[in-house]
Structure 1
Amino acid sequence: MGSWTRMAVLLVAVLATATLSTALINELEPGKDWPTRGSVKQPYNQTEALTVPTEAYTSTTELVEETPPNVKDELEEEITILARAAEAGNVKVDYSGAQLWKVSTEKNGVRVILGRLKRRNLISTWAGNQSYVDVLIKPNAMANVTRVFARENISYDIIIDDLQKRINEENPPLDVNEIELQDRRGHRMTWKQYHRLEDIHGFLDYLAKTYPKIVSVNTIGKSYEGKDLKILRISDGNPNNKAVFIDGGIHAREWISPATVTYFINQIAENFDEESDDMKQIDWYFLPVVNPDGYEYTHLVDRLWRKNRKPSFTGRQCFGTDLNRNFGYRWGGKGASNNPCSEIFRGSRSFSEPESRAVSEFIKTSVANFSAYLTYHSYGQYLLYPWGYDNAVPPDHKDLDVVGKSIAEAIERAGGSKYSVGSSSGLLYPASGGSDDWVKAQGVKYTFTIELSDTGRYGFILPTTKIEPVARESLAGLRVLASYVSKL
């Protein structure tokens, strides 16, 4: 690397550090509830995206071993072929015969073996913690993986024996009565089905028209493909209100997340007068789908797509950045990859993606007094607080632990689901560049990542019959959060 390049990288790092130390910024005049339209910077063009070089980084503390950046292996080749085919003709990915295994990792060396299998493209990982990993096994890899597991005496259980069958059963069409109810109601949201982006955005607009005194909708930016990033606010207009920001759908395949967030919106807007004072004295900001391009892609092409849909522009035609590795606090550290073909690709630099940048600009420029930030994901049933970038906790971690456990208790009372509470890095594994870490670094007190149901029986392919139970118990937890926010 030449001296000028090294100097450029150093300058970027210094500027990034300066940005990270900035507290929550209120740049608008008092009384301005929303940032002015167009104030959020829009996507960099392709030329700008190529101007800042990135340093190679290989993490040894990820869930499983990541592909080294200088290895163009079968994984990259297959993803490249798949991406090109999908772009050319929207070829729907078929998972017939693929299985999900829950693999015990308590035996020494298991994670290393899983890393090798992953680099050979024999498995891919879904979720897990310090004692197990859920891995997806493709049909043509079944014999090889089974032989390796038998030779190494690795314990596992088959959780899903045919993934495509589960996908086919996941989101059945509505019956005639439900469709008629949609027509009478004026919107298509039902929480008996996973809905497309058009339905979700139409629902937000419907509420703004129906309850104009308390509900408003704004577009805070555009996705890479030009889709709106729509935020809905519920507020009684009291200037002394605190504020809570809630988002969902950062990871495209986690359909239960937008479903849960829209359920919150519906319940609070429709029943605002009956809500507790704690709930009514908060300005609620909801962004149900942070990653609209990826979300639509999971409906049309690949049900298990995770990232956004921005091309890498690196010569390897792999698509997408993991938006939850792209936020600017300790960006590029543990648990994030610099390989554009990886599912945890961090992006070319912090906030390189229009979606993450729009969220950060909105939070920084809003005059809302944000006291809490919740980002909903799936799966595993965890209530996670910072830090995620390394095995560390913020100074007020005891407060976060108390609130997290109170929320978990409310969820269990309401629906029976047991949630584990702890720091992201301590309870699961380090993952840098997360939205929760960045928001916490802006000075927002109660910051949580909530991994919704279940614990692995269905994984990302959660049946529609689970939507309302999961959302209902989660709302009970949200009301507990509101009681703590009101005391700040």
Structure 2
Amino acid sequence: MGPQRKLIVALVPLLVALLGKCQSPDMLRSLPKNVSGYLVSRDGQFYVQPALENQSSNGERGVENESRANDEESWTEGGEESWRSDKEPVDGDDEDDDESWSSRRGSLWWWERGTRSRGFSIFGMLESAVGMVGKFLGGMIFEDEEDIESKDSAANYRGHQLLRLTAKTKKQVRYLQQLMTDEPDDVKFWTNPVKDKATDVLVSSRLLNDVKEFFREKGINYVMLMSDLEKAIKSQNPRMPKERRQDLFSSQGHAMTWKRYHRFKDVMGYLDYLASKYPQIVEVVSIGKSFEGRPLKIVKVSTGANVNGEPKPTIWIDAGMHAREWISVAVTTYILNQLVEKNENYTRLLDITDWVIMPVANPDGYEYTHTDDRLWRKTRSNHDAEPQDDTRQAPGFLHVVSQYTKWLFGGSCEGVDPNRNFHIHWGDDKIGASTDPCADTYQGPSPFSEPETRAISNYIMKNKKFIKSYLTMHSYSQMILCCGLTRTRPADFDDLMNIANKAKKAIAKVNGIEYRVGSAAELLYPTTGSSDDWAKEIAGIKNSFTIELRDRGNYGFLLPASQIIPTARETWAGVRVIARMSAAQGNNT
């Protein structure tokens, strides 16, 4: 046994013992005099659940609220919970005496916010350390990360409900924005609140009754889309037994099936398989490393120069920039499969275009969604204590120790939204991006602070002369978008919409699925620091689109694996239209 393993084996019982001691009731003596409580475990950390003297506990209040909610709410024929306000809200700004979410929570609110803050937690540190050391030790013993599906301490969404809201007034939008700010751990907005547009909100079981009552009081309509998110997560992706993976490697040389969502290792293995079996048209290149040291790989697909000996127009596609959007990775690898392994079906397309495809633009976050938190969106960087370094090694035991040392001397929030980190009006007026490191849309401490976004921008800038289309795959909402920054349309907006509308028609012909086309600022909301705006305005790539894949919210980020192939087929039809029209533009210039 090597020295690292001996150290780990020695530390495990020590950490377990410390964890047991720290959970002792003696630790509660440091509570304020007017507060009593008990320890609760949530999302891999321990917190004190307080209860002020002479006030019932949250659990008792929850039972009462649940009983009242069951009396007040009805069910539709489709099995969905729904509620509608009897009074139509009035859009006005003069109701200053209206009760806000924070004031409505009452005197307990300030303490709960403090105990749920993302700062130092000795309980969470020790419990999570045990889990991470155990995973690291398991990884050394089993070597294959696919054998370890997820951590025992992974985020659990049991009882969390996905609600769809419709804010009818600007005042209601402000209520939702305040709720989003005040309760980021318990109320997660999958889509931003916009007047007269659907807003999808995930509410924890802990605050479910309070939040629903708040919506009723404010006249905000809602419909329940999912009654238990944890059940949806567990049913989304069928497991693949180790024996099945081995059979696939033996029969086809890789583990990809497009009947399930695959881990990062499987995706990278498929890229290497393509490069090995089809070296005449495929080249795999690493353009950098992620924050945690994983390779940032792109695949070049080309049959060589055109008939005149000149370089062909290149189509760039990236996916997985937002870690939880698994369908984007699956669709992009399907496109690679068609271009390479079915290349005889697309000889004309390959005669006029080259392709550069990046299936996983955020590998750290993507892997984290498989092991720790299915709904993680950002990268996994930490800018409070980590230097920016493009030569990182894959995470190991010293990385674990480093993380918990940082937690001990000052907590921080990990990750940056890579699609708010590009150097295009970065930070302007905070439109669609956040300066809060704990927010899902955190823009980062500076443009291109992430090694992932720097690697993409460096490659594109070096090859922008040949790239005629930039496509970035996201989910969800079924849209083809351009121009995310403002409502001001670019001079060639009509050209972009012509391409997008023809792609939309091609998509609809496959399965009858309808996409919407337009600017992101009009169909969704304005954003800054997004990759498609950067590609068009800074890199000068004329045809720059964001493709938001299935669906429109029934499953959201948890699109079942059974929909991978239908989604991929229709998307591939639309992408081919964009590629052909881009090539035609290149021939006319």
TM-score, length-scaled by structure 2 = 0.68
Of the candidates 199, 211, 216, which is equivalent to residue 145 of structure 1? 211
**Quick check: 1:291–1:355 contact (8 Å CA) kept in 2?**
yes
1:487 counterpart SS class: helix
Of the candidates 274, 287, 309, which is equivalent to residue 207 of structure 1? 274
1:164 counterpart SS class: helix
Give the direction of change, closer, same or farther, for the CA distance of 1:340–1:77 in structure 2 (3 Å limit). Answer: farther
Higher helix share: 2
Of the candidates 224, 231, 234, which is equivalent to residue 168 of structure 1? 234
Give the direction of change, closer, same or farther, for the CA distance of 1:100–1:400 in structure 2 (3 Å limit). Answer: same
Give the direction of change, closer, same or farther, for the CA distance of 1:280–1:178 in structure 2 (3 Å limit). Answer: farther
**Quick check: 2:245–2:255 contact (8 Å CA) kept in 1?**
no
* Cα distance in 2, alignment partners of residues 321 and 280 from structure 1: 39
1:328 counterpart SS class: coil
Count, aligned residues = 419
1:277 aligns with: 348
1:107 aligns with: 169
1:476 shift after superposition: 0.4
**Quick check: 2:468–2:541 contact (8 Å CA) kept in 1?**
yes
* Cα distance in 1, alignment partners of residues 369 and 203 from structure 2: 19
2:264 aligns with: 197
1:74 aligns with: 113
What are the residue-to-residue correspondences of 1:260-271 with 2, within 5 Å? 260-271=331-342
* Cα distance in 2, alignment partners of residues 279 and 79 from structure 1: 50
* Cα distance in 2, alignment partners of residues 262 and 446 from structure 1: 22
Structure 2: 5+ residue stretches without partners: 1-101, 103-109, 133-152, 386-409
1:22 aligns with: none
Of the candidates 441, 444, 455, which is equivalent to residue 358 of structure 1? 455
2:178 aligns with: 116
Instruction: Give the root-mean-square deviation of aligned CA atoms.
Output: 2.3
Give the direction of change, closer, same or farther, for the CA distance of 1:478–1:75 in structure 2 (3 Å limit). Answer: farther
* Cα distance in 1, alignment partners of residues 371 and 213 from structure 2: 35
Of the candidates 426, 435, 444, which is equivalent to residue 347 of structure 1? 444
1:319 counterpart SS class: coil
Q: In the alignment, is residue 374 of structure 1 matched against residue 471 of structure 2?
A: yes
Once the two structures are superposed, residues 358-398 of structure 1 have per-residue CA deviations (whole angstroms, 9 ceiling, x without a partner) of 00000011276000000000001111011x12222221111
Matched letter for residue 405 of structure 1: N
* Cα distance in 2, alignment partners of residues 96 and 385 from structure 1: 37
Which is worse superposed, 167-176 or 287-296?
167-176
Q: In the alignment, is residue 325 of structure 1 matched against residue 432 of structure 2?
A: no
Of the candidates 140, 150, 157, which is equivalent to residue 95 of structure 1? 157
2:191 counterpart SS class: strand
2:206 counterpart SS class: helix
Of the candidates 506, 517, 528, which is equivalent to residue 432 of structure 1? 528
2:547 counterpart SS class: strand
1:479 aligns with: 576
Matched letter for residue 337 of structure 2: N
1:406 aligns with: 502
Matched letter for residue 166 of structure 1: A
1:44 aligns with: none
**Quick check: 2:468–2:583 contact (8 Å CA) kept in 1?**
no
Give the direction of change, closer, same or farther, for the CA distance of 1:275–1:163 in structure 2 (3 Å limit). Answer: same
Matched letter for residue 525 of structure 2: Y
* Cα distance in 2, alignment partners of residues 280 and 156 from structure 1: 51
Matched letter for residue 423 of structure 2: G
1:228 aligns with: 295
2:42 aligns with: none
1:292 shift after superposition: 0.3
Q: In the alignment, is residue 418 of structure 1 matched against residue 514 of structure 2?
A: yes
**Quick check: 2:470–2:532 contact (8 Å CA) kept in 1?**
yes
Of the candidates 136, 143, 147, which is equivalent to residue 202 of structure 2? 136
* Cα distance in 2, alignment partners of residues 87 and 470 from structure 1: 39
**Quick check: 2:464–2:541 contact (8 Å CA) kept in 1?**
no
Once the two structures are superposed, residues 377-423 of structure 1 have per-residue CA deviations (whole angstroms, 9 ceiling, x without a partner) of 0001111011x122222211111111111111111111211111001
* Cα distance in 2, alignment partners of residues 75 and 375 from structure 1: 39
**Quick check: 2:314–2:467 contact (8 Å CA) kept in 1?**
yes
**Quick check: 1:98–1:161 contact (8 Å CA) kept in 2?**
yes
Once the two structures are superposed, residues 127-172 of structure 1 have per-residue CA deviations (whole angstroms, 9 ceiling, x without a partner) of 2665111000100101111111111121111000000000011111
Which is worse superposed, 361-370 or 391-400?
361-370
Once the two structures are superposed, residues 100-131 of structure 1 have per-residue CA deviations (whole angstroms, 9 ceiling, x without a partner) of 00101233422111122222314110026651
Give the direction of change, closer, same or farther, for the CA distance of 1:421–1:86 in structure 2 (3 Å limit). Answer: farther
Q: In the alignment, is residue 155 of structure 1 matched against residue 252 of structure 2?
A: no
TM-score, length-scaled by structure 1 = 0.82
Give the direction of change, closer, same or farther, for the CA distance of 1:152–1:120 in structure 2 (3 Å limit). Answer: same
* Cα distance in 2, alignment partners of residues 190 and 368 from structure 1: 35
Larger radius of gyration: 2
1:470 aligns with: 567
Matched letter for residue 89 of structure 1: G
Once the two structures are superposed, residues 25-68 of structure 1 have per-residue CA deviations (whole angstroms, 9 ceiling, x without a partner) of xxxxxxxxxxxxxxxxxxxxxxxxxxxxxxxxxxxxxxxxxx9x
* Cα distance in 1, alignment partners of residues 348 and 311 from structure 2: 13
1:274 shift after superposition: 2.3
1:311 aligns with: 382
Of the candidates 550, 555, 562, which is equivalent to residue 458 of structure 1? 555
* Cα distance in 2, alignment partners of residues 143 and 433 from structure 1: 36
**Quick check: 1:279–1:479 contact (8 Å CA) kept in 2?**
no
* Cα distance in 2, alignment partners of residues 72 and 249 from structure 1: 37
Once the two structures are superposed, residues 70-100 of structure 1 have per-residue CA deviations (whole angstroms, 9 ceiling, x without a partner) of x999399444579966576352000000000
Give the direction of change, closer, same or farther, for the CA distance of 1:327–1:306 in structure 2 (3 Å limit). Answer: same
* Cα distance in 2, alignment partners of residues 86 and 402 from structure 1: 52
2:558 counterpart SS class: coil
* Cα distance in 2, alignment partners of residues 127 and 383 from structure 1: 17
Where relative contact order (Cα < 8 A, 6+ residues apart) is larger, the structure is 1
Matched letter for residue 238 of structure 2: P
**Quick check: 1:379–1:453 contact (8 Å CA) kept in 2?**
yes
Of the candidates 266, 280, 283, which is equivalent to residue 216 of structure 1? 283
Matched letter for residue 558 of structure 2: I
* Cα distance in 2, alignment partners of residues 112 and 169 from structure 1: 35
**Quick check: 2:154–2:372 contact (8 Å CA) kept in 1?**
yes
2:489 aligns with: 393
2:145 aligns with: none
1:182 shift after superposition: 4.3
**Quick check: 1:336–1:431 contact (8 Å CA) kept in 2?**
yes
Q: In the alignment, is residue 242 of structure 1 matched against residue 281 of structure 2?
A: no
**Quick check: 2:168–2:220 contact (8 Å CA) kept in 1?**
no
Structure 1: 5+ residue stretches without partners: 1-66
Q: In the alignment, is residue 125 of structure 1 matched against residue 222 of structure 2?
A: no
**Quick check: 2:416–2:441 contact (8 Å CA) kept in 1?**
yes
